[in-house]
Amino acid sequence: MELRLRGKAAVITGGSVGIGLAIAEGLAAEGVNLLLVARGAERLDQEAARIEAAHGVRVVTAACDVGEPASAETITRLAETTFGGVDILINNAGTGSNETIMEAPDSKWDFYWNLHVMAAVRLARGLVPGMKRRGGGVILHNASICASQPLGYEPIYNVTKAALVMFSKNLANEVVGDNIRVNTVNPGLVLTPDWIKTAKELTAGTGGDWEGHLQAVADEFAPIKRFASAEEIANIFVFLCSERASYCVGSAFFADGGMLRTI
Ligand code: NDP
């Protein structure tokens, strides 16, 4: 399927590893120029150079923390000076949590609210004007199955990802008249380096069968009995970026191997 994305420009937050990096690869393979964002400059610049060489697209980077208000201004300025604005924004940066509601302090709620919700709010304010000038665009949010079906150990993650889905719906209604389509993807279990690192840590004292640990997680939660690869999730993002998804507006698309236990 020809996706007709060649020559477009995209901002991807959390684009240096995991799902964000796979989305970057997927869009670059379609000829999309990229502005990748993450905090760690070294890994970010390495991946940017690799993608640029592999796909012949332009890739620039902004090493900043999207939870900080000033980052949206930095990213918007770079998008303007490099590409004259962008056509695509992927709000992907995020991370899991571990707490109880009774014990977590306000500061922890503030951290996740800024990372998962306010980063998307501020980047929309910054980048939508450029999309309008360019005749339209696409904004995608990477939330999680946990936005609908919470995991018990991470209430702050569950709540802030649910808020991100509702933000996405509201933004979709506000900008659809400007030919900007806004949607959310809710992945289930996705095998990223972080899952492997945690599995190795958890099994270090008991024989080191980290693959067995991950299989047990998949067996418990996902009827498909395996994790998704980052590429399997990225494929959905790439499709939603294209005009082939032109009637998709304000929706949340699940890709969870059957993990969601409702219809
Ligand atoms: P990874 O931990 O593999 O990658 C996260 C990326 O985000 C990295 O590039 C990281 O780089 C960047 N990042 C993290 N915090 C910030 C920040 N404050 N500012 C800028 N960049 C940041 O994550 P995944 O690929 O696993 O997850 C990506 C998204 O998908 C997240 O929002 C996550 O909640 C969601 N998700 C993941 C699932 C999974 O099973 N993996 C399942 C469902 C949803 P750096 O650390 O250098 O900043």
- How high is the pLDDT of residue 137? 98
Domains parsed from the chain with CATH numbers: 9-190+230-254 (3.40.50.720), 191-227 (no CATH)
Region 185-212: what's the mean pLDDT? Answer: 96
Tokens read off for 53: 């060489």
Q: Any idea which residue has 């989305």 for tokens?
A: 23
Could you tell me the pLDDT band of residue 203, with boundaries at 50, 70 and 90? very high
Could you tell me whether strands 137-142 and 59-63 are parallel, antiparallel, or unpaired per DSSP bridges?
unpaired
Q: Is 19 in the pocket of ligand 1 (CB under 6 A)?
A: yes
Side-chain-side CA neighbours of 215 within 13 Å: the count stands at: 4
pLDDT in tens, 66-103: 999 999 999 999 999 999 999 999 999 999 999 999 99
By alpha-carbon position, which residue is closest to atom 8 of ligand 1?
14
Tokens read off for 203: 């099994």
Of 95, 110, 168, 220, the one to substitute when testing ligand 1's pocket (max ligand atoms within 8 A of C-beta) is 95
